[in-house]
Amino acid sequence: MDLYQRIINKQEKISLVGLGYVGMPIAVAFANKVKVLGFDVNKEKINLYKSGIDPTKEVGDIAIKNTKVEFTSDETKLREAKFHIIAVPTPVNTDHTPDLRPIESASRTLGRNLTKGSIVVYESTVYPGVTEDICVPILEIESGLTCGIDFKVGYSPERINPGDKVHRLETIVKIVSGMDEETLDTVAKVYELVVEAGVHRAASIKVAEAAKVIENSQRDINIAFMNELSIIFNRMGIDTQAVLEAAGTKWNFLKFYPGLVGGHCIGVDPYYLTYKAEEMGYHSQIILSGRKINDDMGKYVAENTVKKMIKANKQVNGAKVAIFGMTFKENCPDVRNTKVIDIIKELEQYGVEVRVIDPVADKEELWHEYKIHPCKPEEVKGIDAVIFAVSHDEFKNMKLDNIKELFKSESEVIDEVAAVSKEARYVENKCVLIDVKGLFNKNEAENLGYLYWRL
């Protein structure tokens, strides 16, 4: 009986190494069909899962409470599984070079507990060659086993979109690959247990690795083009969103939009590809140009906020700005590599006091990563400018009339001007509204007296 048959007969287990935004939904999906062991080194996270709490909000507390996944932080339990899936982050260092420490550490942990006859599948986004050239040697050293004889490897890149309730593991075609035909067949059949959309069998592990890394690179480049258009049209006094609405009426116009590009995928993956290209003697031109544009957008938003505040006769040094949204994308608690922090840092360079409001963000992670405590909307008063940086569903329901209550009153503005100019004089109290994602109607905002700006 082959490994696949033993898995579906529940004679063997599947293990998930890494239970974050990617690994945990995979574990829950497989647990509906077969025996699953969910491993993570973070004991606090494991305890939350055991308590029926989903800190990622990807599948929800009810699904966690009802799942049959055996959650553990005991690495020796991995010896009970024969099919292992590694789904750990692959970030970049401050110099934008790949940080392979998480995937190397996961490989060492699994290697210490790897048994003969196992298949190891990596899901982490990497540049072509990482699985076979970096991870396999670690597995061999730690286990004392030989790849191709004692165990096999495959690669199946994750395509889960955090916070997306439509495009899920089950509904997205899964790329699968294996070191040989037998491994590929087993990996494909295992994933077909849960992926309703089916699988695509890649020609090799390196092909699968390359396919994944270009997916987000392509998206990054397209968004960079939109961001560059936004910069150009802003100088021309043309509304970018109106331009895109008009251009979007053509059947083959690609509907991308300007915005902040952060997170641990689109804002990171292109650097893996360009790093490998540099190793091969080629310096990327398009990919790195797009990355530079997107990396600078937080600063660009902050600069335009300051310009609007000056136009509204606001005293910039000491001004108070409220930022709605801190996560790297809408309706997702993940704040890792969020580009909103770039807006905050740039505003602080001008002496601006920033208040953050985000009901979705992971508060512990927000403090751990950036030393920021989010405020509640009712705690924010006397504001000089408001920035809507992330389009959470909660923010879409907010009314422009109610947002005005956050700003300084007319008398406060007059007193502020008098304190600077030594004379009390009337100054029109323009409310500066920076709408990064275009949540609100531009004409309505301007009719209500807002000094409005968006990408």
So which residues are the catalytic ones? 265
Is the alpha carbon torsion for 99, 103, 106, 108 positive or negative?
negative
CA-based nearest residue to 397, from 379, 412, 413, 377: 377
CA-based nearest residue to 395, from 327, 325, 314: 325
Q: Is 164 helix (H, G, I), strand (E, B) or coil?
A: coil
Name 155's bridge partners.
Answer: 122, 177
Under a CB-based contact definition with an 8 Å cutoff, are residues 419 and 412 in contact? Answer: no
The pair phi, psi for residue 382, each rounded to 5°, is 65, 40
Q: Is 322 helix (H, G, I), strand (E, B) or coil?
A: strand
Under a CB-based contact definition with an 8 Å cutoff, are residues 386 and 325 in contact? Answer: no
Of the chain, the end-to-end C-alpha distance in Å amounts to 59
Under a CB-based contact definition with an 8 Å cutoff, are residues 14 and 7 in contact? Answer: yes
Q: How many CB atoms lie within 10 A of CB 418?
A: 13
DSSP string, 225-250: HHHHHHHHHHHHT--HHHHHHHHTTS
CA-based nearest residue to 205, from 173, 178, 174: 178
Under a CB-based contact definition with an 8 Å cutoff, are residues 434 and 453 in contact? Answer: yes
CA-based nearest residue to 276, from 223, 209, 324, 342: 209
Count Cβ atoms within 10 A of the Cβ of residue 74 and give its class: 0-12 exposed, 13-18 middle, 19 or more buried.
Answer: exposed
Q: Is 171 helix (H, G, I), strand (E, B) or coil?
A: helix
Under a CB-based contact definition with an 8 Å cutoff, are residues 427 and 313 in contact? Answer: yes
Place of tokens 């608690």: 333
Q: Which two three-digit tokens encode residue 221? A: 């480049």
Distance CA 78, CA 41 (A): 12
Q: Which two three-digit tokens encode residue 108? A: 């060492």
